[in-house]
Chain A
Amino acid sequence: GAGVSQSPRYKVAKRGQDVALRCDPISGHVSLFWYQQALGQGPEFLTYFQNEAQLDKSGLPSDRFFAERPEGSVSTLKIQRTQQEDSAVYLCASSLALGREWYNEQFFGPGTRLTVL
């Protein structure tokens, strides 16, 4: 079956441009996460959705970052007025859910590599 897909795989933007990154999670997965991975570092949490509800956006680095998942499936991460420090790989992950006593693994997409010139 299809895994998590992300598009585009690569994006080059000029400083100040707006970008939109798309994530198609595995069908039926309730939880969706966005992570940012700088070069040589581990991924860092950005935001979390449970179905269409954005329950945690504490990791978004500034108000230029905005994420949505309007129908509880596809999600879009938008970055307005991109800056050079936004250059990173943006990873999307989905999972069935997280229960109090069980764990459903997160399935990651291949990521979108954003380069801001």
Chain B
Amino acid sequence: DAKTTQPNSMESNEEEPVHLPCNHSTISGTDYIHWYRQLPSQGPEYVIHGLTSNVNNRMASLAIAEDRKSSTLILHRATLRDAAVYYCILMNYGGSQGNLIFGKGTKLSVKP
């Protein structure tokens, strides 16, 4: 699976939008982009995933660049509960058994 690059940390104010970037310049055509997050003292939880088109769900939106070499996770209104480490992970379903390859992720701090 290809590698991803994320900033080590980001800060946001409560109730403002947050844009978390992820670079994946070596992504292959069949790699899906996944985002998980890990709240303090908890296991990771799934946030969203996509292939080419932008995706929305109740938690977040995923914006994928046209060349797919980067993507952005968007939290529309950050809350204190969104303070977590966010992981951007690539996976090729056909060549994978499903285990996730985590990097260090981006630690998001939310200020009241």
Chain A interface (Cβ < 8 Å from any Cβ of B):
4, 31, 33, 35, 40-45, 48, 50, 55-56, 59, 91, 93, 95, 97-103, 105-111
Return chain A residues, CB-CB under 8 Å to B99: 33, 45, 48, 56, 59
- B46 near A42 with CB under 8 A, answer no
Pick from B34, B46, B91 the residue with the most CB of A within 10 Å: B46
Report, as a range, how many residues of chain B touch the other chain. 20 to 34
- A43 near B102 with CB under 8 A, answer yes
Give the tally of cross-chain contacts (CB within 8 A): 69
Select from chain A the residue with minimum beta-carbon distance to B99. Answer: A45
Chain A nearest CB from B90 CB (Å) reads: 12
Select from chain B the residue with minimum beta-carbon distance to A113. Answer: B41
- A43 near B42 with CB under 8 A, answer no
Q: Mark B74-98, 1 if CB is under 8 A from A, else 0.
A: 0000000000010100010110111
- A4 near B43 with CB under 8 A, answer yes
- A42 near B102 with CB under 8 A, answer yes
